[in-house]
Amino acid sequence: MNDLLRALRAWPTLLRVGLAEMVAYRAELVIWILTSTTPLIMMVIWSRASQDGAVGDYDADALARYFVATLIVRQLTGCWLVWEMNQDIRTGAFSVQLLRPVNPLLIHAANTLAVIPFRVLLLVPLVGALLLWKPAAADALGQVAWLPFALSLTAAWLINFFVQAMMGCLAFWWRQSLGIFNVWHALFLISSGYVFPLSLLPPGIRGFAEASPFAYLMSAPVELLSGRLQGAAAWQAVGGGALWALLCGVGAAVVWRRGVAHHEAVGA
């Protein structure tokens, strides 16, 4: 309990430090952020495919809305924890972080949050340009259930962070755990709704995808932001996200505790 209080007190400072670091490495940051271009490609591909009529239950406007939302959700929930942990654990930099009186994961969380203003800064012109190209993408903004969207987005952020923490911790045993993360990412691409709406999947795979955490990483907040989920369905999406966030959080805590106990620092 004491630890948590201390962390909470340090939190504003941590955020400020994170922000300062972001400003210092802004050029590098812009490039990292630009690597998430997949929604743009998919938007072009699907808009070409929808030129001669609706695709499943999505017409051209709905597809445009969907992929603009995908771009936004991807940027706001993005995180680089698994790469940073892999590098820090291998080089020994992580041992220094462990010496600090605040849990390193909380520091990483603060850094990840501190990037968000920059991501927004980059998103605004990008989304603006997309809306000029497809004005219809903004049509459904009136129907968006904003509170469920915000909650679902938070859940997606947490799931992503916890999963990356879990996989990052595997590097305590293996030194290198990016291989397994790449498998996770390949699964994510198809079953999260990142490259096409889940309702276009064949029924069997669709059932798996919709129950999986992947759907709550992307599909749920995206469908909320594109105004497709209302009322009970919206809250159901929030509930599923919260459940997976909780499960992943518990998983991350367990793996973290065992990993740190197992960790023999490089040079120690």
Partner 1 sequence: MNRTLGALRAELRLAAMTALAYRASFFGEALLALLTIAWTLLPIFVLYDQRAGIAGWTRDEAMLVNGCFILLEGLMSALIEPNLRAVVEQVRDGTFDFVLMKPVDPQLQVSVHRTSPTRLPHALAGLGVVIWACLQLPKPPELGDIALAGLLLGSGLLILHALFTLVVSTAFWFVRVDNLSYLLTNTLDVGRWPLTFYEGGLRFFLTFVVPIGLMTTWPAMALRGLLSPGEVAMGLAVALGFSLAGRLAWTTALRRYSSASS
Nearer residue to partner 1 within complex by CB, 56 or 207: 56
Q: Does 196 bind partner 1 (CB under 8 A)?
A: yes
- Binders of partner 1 among 223-262, rule CB under 8 A? none
Q: Does 179 bind partner 1 (CB under 8 A)?
A: yes
CB of 26 to partner 1, least distance (A): 12
Nearer residue to partner 1 within complex by CB, 15 or 187: 187
Residue 232 and residue 79: Cα distance in Å, rounded?
30
Nearer residue to partner 1 within complex by CB, 162 or 196: 196
Are residues 7 and 106 in contact, defined by beta-carbon separation less than 8 angstroms?
yes
Nearer residue to partner 1 within complex by CB, 41 or 96: 41
Residues 6+ apart with CB under 8 A from 60: 47, 50, 51, 54, 136
Q: How far is CA 156 from the centre of its chain?
A: 6
Q: Does 181 bind partner 1 (CB under 8 A)?
A: no
Q: Does 215 bind partner 1 (CB under 8 A)?
A: no
Are residues 6 and 102 in contact, defined by beta-carbon separation less than 8 angstroms?
yes
Residues 6+ apart with CB under 8 A from 98: 104, 260, 263, 265
Are residues 249 and 163 in contact, defined by beta-carbon separation less than 8 angstroms?
no
Are residues 61 and 139 in contact, defined by beta-carbon separation less than 8 angstroms?
yes
* Contact code string over 13-42 relative to partner 1, x by CB under 8 A: ---------------x--xx-xxxxx--x-
CB of 37 to partner 1, least distance (A): 6
Helix H, strand E, coil C: the string for 165-212 is HHHHHCHHHHCCCHHHHHHHHHHHHHHCCCCCCHHHCCHHHHHHHHHC
Q: Which stretch binds partner 1 (CB under 8 A): 46-54, 109-117, 125-133, 151-159?
A: 46-54
* Contact code string over 57-96 relative to partner 1, x by CB under 8 A: ----------------------------------------
Q: How many residues bind partner 1 (CB under 8 A)?
A: 30
CB of 169 to partner 1, least distance (A): 20
Of the candidates 163, 162, 159, the one whose C-alpha atom is nearest the C-alpha of residue 216 is 159
Nearer residue to partner 1 within complex by CB, 100 or 185: 185
* Residue 40 DSSP SS3: helix
* Interface residues toward partner 1, by CB under 8 A: 28, 31-32, 34-38, 41, 44-46, 48-49, 52, 55-56, 179, 182-183, 186-187, 189-190, 195-196, 200-202, 205
